[in-house]
Chain A
């Protein structure tokens, strides 16, 4: 599975969009980009995933560059409850383990 690189921390003002970047330059053609987040001491929570097209759901949007070497998770209107560690994970669609890196610690401030 391809390795990902994320900034260790980011701040965002409440109500503004939070844009979390992820580099995955070694991603292969059949690998997907997944995002999970972990709020405080809770278990990780799935957010969204995509292959090459941009994706949107009720939680977030995922923008994947055309060369698929990087992506951005967008929380359109961040709230204080979005404060969490966000993990970008690259994995094949066949299932199996998730490899969590260090993630980005997002702090949403009032």
Chain B
């Protein structure tokens, strides 16, 4: 498909296990973003990449969370030693460019994937 894809769509794991969430951005998109969304809340920024370089990881809640995008395309968000409070929808987005090419351009429009619903028991 032409959109952002994420896998798995649903993940149930036991407390203490590690999980890896995958994001496949739209082909050719330079920027890739990870967000987390709790029920009834807006998405919360975690981290983002331009190509393979991690530009901002200020939203990662603690050192159990990490992300990589080694070849500038697919990205993996890893949560080590999961806790129940990590349960949420994890959303990935990509944009053609990091910023606006001009006032009338929409090169920084973020296209969101369907998300991975993580449940930690």
Interface residues, chain A, with chain B CB atoms under 8 Å away: 32, 38, 41-46, 49, 51, 85, 87, 92-103
Main secondary structure of the interface of A (DSSP, over half): loop
Within 8 A of A (CB), among B89-121: 89, 91, 93, 95, 97-100, 103, 106, 108-115
Q: Which residues of A contact B35 (CB under 8 A)?
A: 98
> Residues of A contacting B51 with CB < 8 Å?
none
Task: Please count how many residues in chain B sit with their CB below 8 Å of the partner chain's CB atoms.
Answer: 31
Asked whether, in the complex, the Cβ of A45 is within 8 Å of the Cβ of B100, the reply is no
Q: Which chain B residues numbered 62 to 88 have a C-beta less than 8 Å away from chain A?
A: none
Top-7 shortest CB links A-B: A43-B112, A100-B42, A95-B98, A95-B99, A97-B45, A93-B100, A94-B99
Report the Cα distance A92→B98, complex, angstroms. 11
Given contacts A43-B91, A44-B112, A46-B106, contact A95 B31 (CB under 8 A): yes
**Complex contact A45–B99 (CB within 8 A):** no
The answer to the question of B18 belonging to the interface, with a C-beta cut-off of 8 Å to chain A, is no
- Alpha-carbon gap, A101 to B44, bound state (A): 9
Q: How far is the CB of A15 from chain B (nearest CB, A)?
A: 28
How far apart sit A97 and B35, CA to CA, in the bound complex (Å)?
9
Task: Name the interface residues of B38-62: CB closer than 8 Å to any CB of A.
Answer: 41-45, 48, 55-56, 59
**Are B114 and A43 closer than 8 Å at their CB atoms?**
yes
5 contacts between A and B (CB under 8 A): A41-B89, A41-B115, A44-B43, A97-B48, A99-B45
**C-alpha gap A103/B103 in the complex (Å):** 24
Contacts of A97 in B (CB 8 A): 33, 45, 48, 56, 59
Q: Which residues of the partner chain A approach B91 to less than 8 Å between Cβ atoms?
A: 43-44
Question: Given the complex of chains A and B, what is the CA–CA distance between A46 and B114 in angstroms?
Answer: 15
- B11–chain A nearest beta-carbon distance, Å: 16
